[in-house]
Amino acid sequence: MKKLILSLLLLAGTCSALHAQTTLPATPTESIFNFPKPGSTKATFYFWFQKNNRVVLEMNDVRQLNLIPNLDSLVQEAFQSIKPLKDSFKSDGLVRRIDYISSAALPPQIRITTHANKGESYSYYKSELVQTKIEKDTLRIRINTPRPQMNKLPLQGVTVYPFVIMILVDNFDDFTTFPTNALEQCVNKVKADLGKNLTTAKHLKTNFKAYYNMQTGKMISPLKPKYMDWGRKAAFEPTVQFGLQYARGSFTPSAGAGVQYRFSDGTFSQNFVRAYWEPYFFFSRDANNKLVTDRNDFITLRYTVLFLKEMARNKITTSGNISLSYLVGRRGNWFEQNTFKIGTPGFMAGSLMFEPEFFFNDVFRNFSPSLKMTLMFE
């Protein structure tokens, strides 16, 4: 029985996906159409297009990007193959996944999985009640690439690696809305950001992951290409910021410098714990009409969460944020002694963060609100 299962895996060209994150499929059918499982590979790259449609590239070795064929042609080939099946789908609001396996040795293999509805959704359109579908349809294409050089495989005799293209759309008709070179754009973005990782064996002990907004052509997470190496779960980094806020009846600039601890769940968010010195600058005139600058220094601890799905929309988004500051250097009468400052969740627009702040001392005495705009440098 073990030999039979192993033979089936070899035929499907998926044995190379056996690593710590992957378990053997439960059935031979699953071994063909669902192996490797979505999200189980060591390198995964996500791309957002219009209407929140997405492309996902999955592989176990980033150097496979040097060995793949033209993916746009492959997707068009798959789309034409399933078109007769697609035309038979009813407008029933059901969510479907189509698995398509392309191989030079065998004809394409196709499986359609229909997911049962958990309730029904409706909307009014032109004064009529119409059924709507919230979840996305999925086309998952798997090919095999040659084995990259210098790899030490867990199983001898395996010469191919699986490579998966997963496309998520509202309806299968939306495949025609993707740019004709959509996949080429995705691959080129990843190649440019991976750099030397495409020619070294560093991947053997490292995971890679990144998220892109293809409407703007920008990476939305991680913050820099060098952080695509998700094998390094977290890192300490310097942090610098400049701010402008309305506080205590006056517009006042501020700055910040310190250190941050960056980490992520790898799927939904990026998280930051920051500790920094934060001086506020107040300007006034003395009795001789000379400019006086009063610097008031805060020490701040801040926790920030950036949500990837909202960042992908390229609009003003909410940010999970909480901060606590204490006044350690006081000049002038702008703040009372033992003043605290609290920052609460706000909004993000690129590198700009907008947040409410509240000043108080001695158990919420002299409580006053403020609105702050901060430019973050990462």
Question: Tens digit of pLDDT for each residue in 139-156?
Answer: 999 999 888 775 554 444
Do 215 and 249 share a domain, yes or no? no
Same domain, 238 and 223: no
| Distance of alpha carbon 99 from alpha carbon 112, whole angstroms | 6
pTM over 0.75: no
Q: Are residues 167 and 78 in the same domain?
A: yes
Q: For the segment 160-191, what is each residue's pLDDT rounded down to a tens digit?
A: 789 999 999 887 777 777 888 999 999 999 99
Same domain for 321 and 290: yes
In terms of domains, do 64 and 151 share one?
A: yes
Per-residue pLDDT of 70-110, as tens digits, reads 999 999 998 888 888 776 676 666 788 899 998 877 888 88
Question: Residue 95: exposed, middle, or buried by beta-carbon count in 10 A (0-12, 13-18, 19+)?
Answer: middle
Per-chain mean pLDDT for the chain: 79
- Do 208 and 265 lie in a common domain? no
Tell me, yes or no, whether 26 and 174 share the same domain.
Answer: yes
Contact residues for 291 (Cβ-Cβ < 8 A; gap 6+):
283, 284, 285
Range of the domain at 63: 2-84+96-114+136-228
pLDDT of 25 reads 54
pLDDT at 202 over 80: no
Same domain, 101 and 204: yes
Residues 6+ apart with CB under 8 A from 342: 322, 323, 324, 325, 357, 358, 360
In a domain, 129, yes or no: no
Mean pLDDT computed over 340-355: 88
- Give the integer Cα–Cα distance in Å for 61 and 148: 8
Same domain, 210 and 238: no
Q: Which of 228, 257, 292 is the last residue of a domain?
A: 228
Mark which of 228, 245, 265 sits at the end of a domain.
228
Q: Is 123 exposed, middle or buried (0-12, 13-18, 19+ CB in 10 A)?
A: exposed
Domain count, the chain: 2
Q: Is 152 inside any structural domain?
A: yes
